[in-house]
Structure 1
């Protein structure tokens, strides 16, 4: 599949999360859990590492657990269990690699890459925490709009040296605009949030370019939803640090 399809998948996942946030907690949980599962299934395919089915479970399940915990834990500890799920996933990855035995192909790459996948899977719970935080969704909406602008910029088939700054600047400008129109968030925190979100997403676009090879659908699915998942926790902590 073409690399631009990653942006389409990312936009679809982002739309599902936004729809879930404005529907009900259960719908948002379903969207976050499905995102975690998709990251788990697709990430090993993007990395091109062996034992893909086993790693899919070890990457996806901690993300599902983290999303469930973020949905039902009382405030303000929405993400209190997220580090535990991350740790459990990383430990499971190491145990699995030990069971594979020495001399296996791509053992180091598989271990490090899968641990990164666990982090991406679990960070999606931040969308739930951001939606629940203070009972309002102002930063949630600012981050989502900024992410959408960065993803749309990534669809442009121009050189990365042009698209990357465009994505960061576009997201940085979209943040304050969304803050002014849809919330009472000050311009500077909204601009910081938008710029950081844009930087994260265009960085993943660069990773796809460096990967170079043709991607199958599962690889596109994992790489499209992984960055969107990561942005959720980023928005939540920016909300706590700059807004609250």
Structure 2
């Protein structure tokens, strides 16, 4: 698959998250769980590291657990268990690498890359926390629209020196505009969400370009949904710090 498939997968994931947020918490949980599973399955394929099936479970399961906890924990501690799931996933990755033994191929790359995958998988619970926070979903929509703009900009086959500023500025402008249209969210928090989300997503675009190979379906799913998973927690914490 071509690299632009990653952006399409990301936009589709954002649409599913917004639809889940406006349906029910069980639907949003299902979307978050599927996203974590896709990150778990796809991330080892994107990194092209050994033991893909085992690492898929070690990366995906903590993300699913973090999403379940964020769905059912009482307010305001929606993400209280997320660090524990991250730590558990990282420890499991290290134990697995120890079991593989010394001298195995790509052992260091597999360890570091898998730990990053665990973090991305678990941060997806932030979308659930964002939707549950005071029962207000507007910031979730603002973050999703900003992310969609950044991902769409990333589809343009121009050099990074053009696309990166375009994605960040576009996301930064889309946030306040979306906030003004759908809610009374202040311009500054919405703009900050847009800029931060845009910066994260265009950074991941660079990783796809550096890899420089055609991606298979699992790799495209993992790389498309991994950054989308991460920006959910960013939006939640910005919402919590600046709006309340």
TM-score (norm 1): 0.99
Q: Which stretch has the larger CA shift, 204-213 or 59-68? A: 204-213
Paired residue for 1:77?
77
- Work out the CA distance in 2 between the residues paired with 1:59 and 1:190: 31
**Matched residue, 2:145:** 145
The structural deviation recorded for 1:161 is 1.2
Deviations 1:100-124 (A, max 9, x none): 0000000000000000000000000
Q: Counterpart of 1:225?
A: 225
- Show CA shifts across 1:47-68 (max 9, x none): 0100000000000000000000
1:213 aligns with 2:207: no
Q: Deviation at 1:159?
A: 1.4
Q: Does 1:171 align with 2:174?
A: no
How big is the alpha-carbon RMSD for the aligned residues of Structure 1 and Structure 2?
0.6
Match of 1:21 in 2: 21
Shift of 1:138: 1.7
Distance, in Å, in 2 between the alignment partners of 1:98 and 1:52 is: 16
Query: How many Å separate the matches in 1 of 2:114 and 2:132?
Result: 29
- SS of 2:226's partner is helix
Structure 1 residues 58-137: aligned runs within 5 Å:
58-137=58-137
Deviation by residue 1:47-105 (Cα, 9 ceiling, x = unmatched): 01000000000000000000000000000000000000000000000000000000000
CA distance in 2, matches of 1:60, 1:105: 22
Is 2:142 the partner of 1:180?
no
Structure 2 CA distance for aligned equivalents of residues 48 and 198 of structure 1:
26
Instruction: Give a deviation string over 1:17-53, Cα, whole Å, max 9, x none.
Output: 1100000000000000000000000000000100000
Secondary structure of residue in 2 paired with 1:207: helix
Matched, 1:38 2:38: yes
In structure 1, what is the equivalent of residue 198 of structure 2?
198
Q: Structure 2 regions of 5+ residues with no counterpart? A: none
Q: Which runs of 5+ in 1 are unaligned?
A: none
